[in-house]
Amino acid sequence: MNFHQKPVTHVSEVGLKVLDLNKMIQFYTETIGFDLIAKTDKKAELGAGGTTLLVLETIDGLTPKRERYAGLYHFAILLPDRKELGKILLHLHQRGIQLGSSDHLVSEALYLSDPEDNGIEIYRDREAEEWDWNNDEVKMAVDPLDAEGVVRAAQESGETWQGMPANTVMGHIHLHVSDLAQAERFYMEGLGFEVVTTMGRQALFIADQKYHHHIGLNIWNGVGIPALPEKTAGLNYYTLKFDDENKRNAVTAQLREIGAEVAEESDYLVTKDPAGNAIRLVV
C-alpha cells in the first residue's frame, strides 16, 4: 500500500445494498476482476488476494434509488502500479464499458458505474515523493489522463489482464453528505482525520498520516439532503481499519464527546456520520 510506513487509519471494505445479487456478482467478477471470496443466498464477499474489499447484500423489499440522498459518490480501488491500470483500461475498453478518466496529479484514475449506478474509481498512485504539498494542503487537479501512456505501460509489460492483482486495496471512499461543516467536525474532531485539500465550499478531502485522501466529502447532491433510507439500494456501510485497539478506543471516546453514537456489534463498532452514512470501526 502506498500509504506511508506508519500504520494508518484507512477504508478497508465497502458494503452495498443491491437489488440483483447475481447480476452484481457477475459484473464485479467479470468486468472489475474481483475474486468471489464467499457467497450465501443474500450476501457475497468480493476482493483480491483473499482479502474482502466489497460486500454485496440483498435485503427483502429493497427499492432502487430514485431521489437525491446522502451516501456513495464512489468507492476507489487502488491498483499497485501504472501497468495494472493500463491492463484494466484495455480490458474495460474491450468490454465496451463507458469510462471517465482523470489525472489528479497525485494519481491517475478511471471512472465507471456498476449496473445499479454505484460509482467506482479505479486508480494508481504516483509515488508520494511526487505529490506537491503546500504547507498542509496537497495539490490535486482534474486534468486529462495520458491514456496512451497508461496503455503503453501495460503493453510494455507484455502482460494481459487476469483480474485484480493480489495486492489491490480499497484506496478511499467519496461520499455525498448533507452539510459540509457538520461533516468536517465529525470527521476531524470525532474520527481524527485532517483536511488535506478543499474544493471551494463544495468538497473536502481528508486523510490520516498525509495520504492524498482516504475520504472525500461533497455536497454536490444538494445541501440538507436526507440520509439513504434503509430499504433503498446503495451504500450500506464502509469500514475504517485501525492499527490497534487503543487508537480505536481513543476515537470512540472522541466520537462520544462530540455527541455521536457508537454501538457495539460482535466484531466491530458502528457509528454514523451526520448525513447518516454508516461506518464500521474495525481493528
Q: Which three cell numbers stand for residue 276?
A: 447518516
Of residues 188, 173, 182, the one with CA closest to residue 274: 182
Residue 219 DSSP label? -
Instruction: For 17, list phi and psi in degrees, rounded to 5.
Output: -90, 125
Q: Which single residue is written with the C-alpha cell 478511499?
A: 172
Instruction: For 206, list phi and psi in degrees, rounded to 5.
Output: -130, 155
How many residues are present in the chain? 283
Residue 212 DSSP label? S
pLDDT, one tens digit per residue, over 18-39 is 999 999 999 999 999 999 999 9
pLDDT at 200: 87
**Which residues, in sequence order, are CB contacts of 283 under 8 Å at separation 6+?**
241, 242, 243, 244, 245, 248
pLDDT at 127: 95
pLDDT, one tens digit per residue, over 34-74 is 999 999 999 999 999 999 999 999 999 999 999 999 999 99
- Does residue 162 have a pLDDT over 70? yes
pLDDT at 22: 98
Alpha helices in 69-189 (DSSP H): 82-94, 147-157, 180-185
| CB 247, CB 269: distance < 8 Å | no
* Rounded average pLDDT over 92-100: 97
- Does residue 160 have a pLDDT over 80? yes
- What is the share, in percent, of the chain residues with pLDDT greater than 90? 95
pLDDT at 7: 79
State the DSSP H helix or E strand holding residue 14, giving kind and residue range, or none if neither. Answer: strand 10-17
Instruction: For 106, list phi and psi in degrees, rounded to 5.
Output: -80, -20
DSSP assignment of 25-60 equals HHIIIIIS--EEEEE-SSEEEEEETTEEEEEEE--T
Measured CA to CA, the distance from residue 64 to residue 17 in angstroms comes to 10
- Does residue 5 have a pLDDT over 90? no
pLDDT at 1: 42
Instruction: For 47, list phi and psi in degrees, rounded to 5.
Output: 180, -155
Measured CA to CA, the distance from residue 133 to residue 188 in angstroms comes to 20
* Rounded average pLDDT over 172-187: 98
- Does residue 178 have a pLDDT over 70? yes
Confidence (pTM): 0.96
Q: Which three cell numbers stand for residue 101?
A: 478518466
pLDDT, one tens digit per residue, over 6-20 is 679 999 999 999 999
Q: Read off the pLDDT band of 2 (50, 70, 90).
A: very low
pLDDT, one tens digit per residue, over 211-270 is 999 999 999 999 999 999 999 999 999 999 999 999 999 999 999 999 999 999 999 999
pLDDT, one tens digit per residue, over 113-153 is 999 999 999 999 999 999 999 988 999 999 999 999 999 99
| CB 16, CB 118: distance < 8 Å | yes
